[in-house]
Structures are given as structure tokens and as C-alpha cells.
Amino acid sequence: MIIIGERINGLFKNVRKAIQEKDPGPIQELAKKQVAAGAHYLDVNTGPAVDNPAEVMDWLVETVQEVVDVPLAIDAAKMEAIEAGLKVHKNGRPIINSTTAEPKMLEKALYLAGEYNALLIGLAMNEKGVPKDSDSRVAIAMEIIATADSCGFSPSDILIDPLILPVGVAQDHAPEVLETIRQMKLLADPPPKTVLGLSNVSQETKHRSLINRTFLVMAMAMGLDSVIMDANDQELMQALATARILLNQEIYAESYLEI
């Protein structure tokens, strides 16, 4: 299970402030803290409230790379900002986060993925939005994979995000997302990878950590490969480690939580 730390995101107040003040301290602290907790990648997102996203992304990536050497998921709404991050990315294979199946966006994202040898997160949505049922999500994922294939990518270069919505807003989506994850394993050989932006499921709920870890464990049972999450949520990390044991992905030892 690949853990992608979610915390360097301009949506968080302390990150937004650090970006505005060009203060590397808080960003670098978050980077080190997430990697120390077990994150294999760090997501880096400028947040929506910046005028010059490409410039900010360049600074964020450089700032993070000064203190940790994990690869990054370059996360932005605009491909210009993503490209700015890819240009200065230096540790391993970056992840482009993300594209929808909308043809122009997908084409641009695939171009960048090829140019910078990046993995690409494809969201199970298109210009019409996020469909509810798993069949429609799978159909959109298939479009992304077919387009990627026609550009010479392996399905395993693509991480399909079936898009979990907040349970308080769209509860009926949650089981559809689980089924979509399961279906991905049957879609191609090698299958595409799967990823979830986990915290979204618990937006505006009272028991965020409990809801996050319960959904993660369910998604892992369905075959989830990677997750964007709070690596510093210790109960979440313990649930993840336990799920890995029960899926026989890690050899059981009494001390498995202490590693």
C-alpha cells in the first residue's frame, strides 16, 4: 500500500500562510513529519487561493525537496502549475494529480506524463461530473486507460481515483466506489493502479478519523493500491498496518505495530 501524505495543501491554513509569506519552515516541518510517519510520497498542492500557481508550485517542490527525498504527487487544477512542479522534481517518478477523462485535459496530462516520466492519476469523472454507479465510473476509467494505451502507456502507469464523496452529502456513492476499486483489478492486464483521496469521505462529519480508517480498510479489502491521507493519524496508520496483515501482504508478528 503506497501512502501519499496529504498535508502540504494550501487548503490548510498553516500551509496557506507559509505560502503567502514564502516561509519554508512550516512546509518543511510537515514534509519531514509525514515521511517520518511512513509516507512514501508527498502530495503538494498550492491551494486554490494563489494568483501565480506555477511559481508557487515551483517554490513548494523545491522547498520540500530540500528536506526529504521521497517522490511527490504534483497536485493542481491547472496543467501549467503541474508542469512547473514536474520541471524541478528530482527524486524518483512523480505523480501527476490529476486529470479527468475530459479529452483535452487528459491529452495534456498524458503529454506531461510522457515528457516527465510521471505516473498519472485519472479521476473517474468527465465534463458531465461524477457519476453515481460503479458501472459508469468503470466506463470512464476504461476511457482513460484506453486513451493512455493509445499513447503508449501501460495501464499500470495510471492510478484510477474513483472519487469518494463526503458521506454526509452522497452516502450512496460509498459502496459504488468500493465496487469500482474491485472492478479495476479485472479491467486490464496488468491492471491500472487505484488511489483514493481518503479524507474527502469524512468532510463535515463529527467522527472524521473513525470514518476515514473504516473506509480505508474496506477499500483495501477491495484491492486499493495507494491512498492520499493523513500519515500522522496514528489510528489510521494502525488500521492500515492491520489490514495489510489480514490481507497477507505483510507477515504477521506480534510486534507488527511497533515497526
Comparing CA positions, the residue from 148, 243, 151 lying closest to residue 198 is 243
Q: Which residue bears the cell 458501472? A: 135
**CB contact set of 210 (below 8 Å; sequence gap of 6+):** none
> Does 37 contact its own copies by CB under 8 A?
no
Separation CA 137–CA 250 (nearest Å): 30
> Does 243 contact its own copies by CB under 8 A?
yes
Pick between residue 151 and residue 253 the one whose CB is nearest to its own copies: 253
The grid cell for 165 is: 464523496
**CB contact set of 109 (below 8 Å; sequence gap of 6+):** 79, 82, 96, 98, 99, 120
State in angstroms the smallest separation of the CB of 210 from its own copies. Answer: 5
Among 201, 227, 228, 229, binds its own copies (CB under 8 A): 201
x-or-dash pattern for its own copies, window 107-146, by CB under 8 A? ----------------------------------------
Pick between residue 13 and residue 207 the one whose CB is nearest to its own copies: 207
> Does 210 contact its own copies by CB under 8 A?
yes
> Does 1 contact its own copies by CB under 8 A?
no
Separation CA 243–CA 24 (nearest Å): 35
x-or-dash pattern for its own copies, window 147-176, by CB under 8 A? --------------------xx--xx-xx-
**CB contact set of 169 (below 8 Å; sequence gap of 6+):** 203, 204
Q: Where on the chain is the footprint of its own copies (CB under 8 A)?
A: 167-168, 171-172, 174-175, 178, 201, 205-207, 210-211, 214-215, 217-218, 220-222, 238-239, 242-243, 245-248, 251-252, 254-255, 257
